[in-house]
Amino acid sequence: MPTPRRDPLRLAIRLVVYIVLGYFSLLFVGWALLGLGVVLGAVATVLASACLVNWVSLRIYEHLSLLDLGLLWNRASRYNLGLGVAAGIGAACLVLAPPLVLGLAHMLPTPAEQPSFGAAVFATVMLAAGAVGEELLFRGYGFQIMLAEIGPFATILPVSLLFALLHGSNPNATWY
C-alpha cells in the first residue's frame, strides 16, 4: 500500500495561520492586559495568547478542543510532569556541579533581606505560567502538525532556532 502523500501547501497554510494568529493575539492580549504590570502582564499575555491561538487552530483545522493538545490532568500527565521536573533538576545538577566542584564557580551569599513566602510563591507561579505559555506556543499545534508531516529533525531544529532567536534579547543572553 503506498504511503499517503504529504501536502506541503496545506501544512504551510496552517503554519502561517498559526503564526499570524499567535502574533496578533500577543499584540492584542498584551494591550488588553497592560494594567496588570510588567511581570504579571507579560506572563498572562503569553499564557492567554498561547491558549487562544492553539484553541482557535485546533477548532479550525482539527475540530478538537484545547484539552486534546495534551492538557488533561491524569495519571500519565502527573508521571510526565514528575519525570520532567526530575530531568530538569538532573540537568541543572549536571551543569552546576562540575564548575562548583572544580572551583571554577562560587556560590555567593544571598542579600540580607530574604524574600517572603508570598514572594516565593508568586515567583514560582509566574515562572510556571510563563513556561506553560511558552510550551504551548512553541510545542503546541504548530509543532505537532510539523512533527506529523515532516518528522522530528525537520521540526525540532527550526523550532529550536526560532525559540533561541526570540530569547536573544533576554538579559545576559549570548549567541552561544
* One-letter identity of residue 127: L
| pLDDT tens profile 50-106 | 999 999 999 999 998 888 887 888 999 899 989 999 999 999 999 999 999 999 988
| pLDDT tens profile 5-28 | 578 899 999 999 999 999 999 999
pTM for the model stands at 0.78
pLDDT band, residue 2 (cuts 50/70/90): very low
Cβ neighbours of residue 169 closer than 8 Å, sequence gap 6 or more: none
What are the distances in angstroms from CA 109 to CA 22, 101, 114?
41, 17, 11
**Upper half-sphere CA count for residue 149 (Cβ side, 13 Å):** 15
Helix axis angle, 38-57 to 8-32, nearest 10°? 150
Instruction: Tell me if residue 172 falls in helix, strand or coil.
Output: coil
